[in-house]
């Protein structure tokens, strides 16, 4: 595997690999990770690090995968608290009482695509395989957020909703937020049709020329990372505090799960983050 990135670092490549952002690693009061498709015990189309319980994999294997990832990346398994993503834009504040949700307790967070907390001992978990993860760290009031932004969530401005909810719950000031966007399917590989592109072209307060690129045959290349970056800037996050991942899931299919690269026969990756 030829791993190259200016923004992210690959750890434990020979055992249970995970990625971190260089920018977020400088913040010593949080721990974060993004999983890969490697280092797990799942088989068949889920080989080997699948972190989704809802795609037909053996749940005991998924649990073991989480335990391996936690061990590798330094998270407490009992602290995991997962979203229940379905491409909406609801954001929920979670506490220690929610620990285990969606992992070793039933999901009770239906329609939640974003999680925030300001409590230690709660690890936020969200799921991906091409969609865009958004990481938020409030360096002032020490709070964190994770959100899943597929194209629907991006158009619905879930990034802005997380910033607002962190402000409402934790007094977070947007200018104190350090954010990261990705890894996701990137503009090199993310072709969409006209109805999808039209939703993005309708975001007229943003510079759509920078993320919707028409090509022949009524198709468009879409840059979800740039669209999310602009949405965060519009919400008050400083441009210099936002890092975009340079790892496209489809271009790095040996390392990362890509829904498009696998035509849907795939496992799922997770973003994890907690306060320490």
In the complex, the residues that contact Zn ion under the rule CB under 5 A are: 186, 188-189, 248, 250-251
Starting at the edge strand found earlier in the chain, the sheet holding 18-21 runs: 8-11, 18-21, 30-35, 269-275, 123-128, 80-82
CB of 258 to Zn ion, least distance (A): 9
CB of 159 to Zn ion, least distance (A): 21
Phi, psi of 141 (to 5 degrees): -100, 10
Give the nearer residue to Zn ion in terms of CB position, either 75 or 128: 128
CA separation for the pair 88, 110 (Å, rounded): 10
CB of 227 to Zn ion, least distance (A): 16
Give the nearer residue to Zn ion in terms of CB position, either 118 or 249: 249
CB of 267 to Zn ion, least distance (A): 19
Give the nearer residue to Zn ion in terms of CB position, either 117 or 250: 250
Return the residue matching tokens 């990261």: 180
Q: Which residue is nearest to Zn ion (CB)?
A: 248
Give the nearer residue to Zn ion in terms of CB position, either 143 or 269: 269
Contact (CB, 8 A) for 104 and 235 = no
Radius of gyration of the chain (CA): 17
With 0-12 / 13-18 / 19 or more C-beta atoms within 10 angstroms meaning exposed / middle / buried, residue 225 is buried
How many residues are recorded in the chain? 276
Give the nearer residue to Zn ion in terms of CB position, either 227 or 273: 227
Contact (CB, 8 A) for 157 and 184 = no
CB of 122 to Zn ion, least distance (A): 33
Pair of tokens at residue 156: 């619905």
Give the nearer residue to Zn ion in terms of CB position, either 164 or 260: 260
Contact (CB, 8 A) for 253 and 47 = no
CB of 252 to Zn ion, least distance (A): 8
């Amino acid at each position: 595997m030829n791993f190259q990135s200016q923004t992210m670092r690959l750890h434990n490549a020979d055992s249970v690999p995970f990625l971190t952002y260089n920018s977020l690693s400088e913040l010593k009061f949080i721990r974060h990770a993004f999983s890969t498709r490697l280092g797990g015990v799942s088989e068949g189309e889920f080989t080997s690090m699948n972190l989704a319980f809802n795609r037909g994999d053996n749940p005991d294997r998924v649990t073991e995968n989480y335990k391996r990832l936690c061990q590798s990346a330094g998270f407490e398994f009992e602290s995991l608290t997962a979203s229940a993503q379905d491409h909406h834009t609801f954001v929920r504040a979670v506490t220690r009482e929610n620990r285990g949700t969606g992992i070793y307790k039933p999901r009770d967070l239906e329609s939640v695509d974003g999680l925030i907390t300001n409590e230690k001992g709660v690890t936020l978990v969200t799921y991906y395989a091409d969609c865009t993860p958004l990481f938020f760290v409030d360096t002032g009031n020490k709070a964190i957020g994770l959100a899943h932004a597929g194209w629907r969530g991006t158009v619905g401005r879930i990034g802005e909703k997380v910033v607002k909810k962190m402000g409402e719950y934790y007094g977070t000031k947007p200018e104190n937020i350090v954010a990261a966007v990705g890894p996701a399917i990137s503009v090199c590989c993310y072709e969409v049709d006209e109805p999808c592109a039209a939703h993005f072209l309708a975001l007229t307060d943003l510079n759509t020329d920078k993320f919707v690129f028409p090509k022949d045959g009524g198709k468009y290349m879409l840059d979800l990372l740039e669209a999310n970056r602009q949405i965060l800037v519009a919400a008050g996050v400083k441009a210099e505090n936002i890092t975009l991942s340079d790892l496209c899931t489809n271009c790095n299919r040996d390392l990362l799960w890509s829904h498009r690269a696998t035509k849907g026969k795939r496992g799922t990756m997770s973003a994890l983050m907690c306060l320490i």
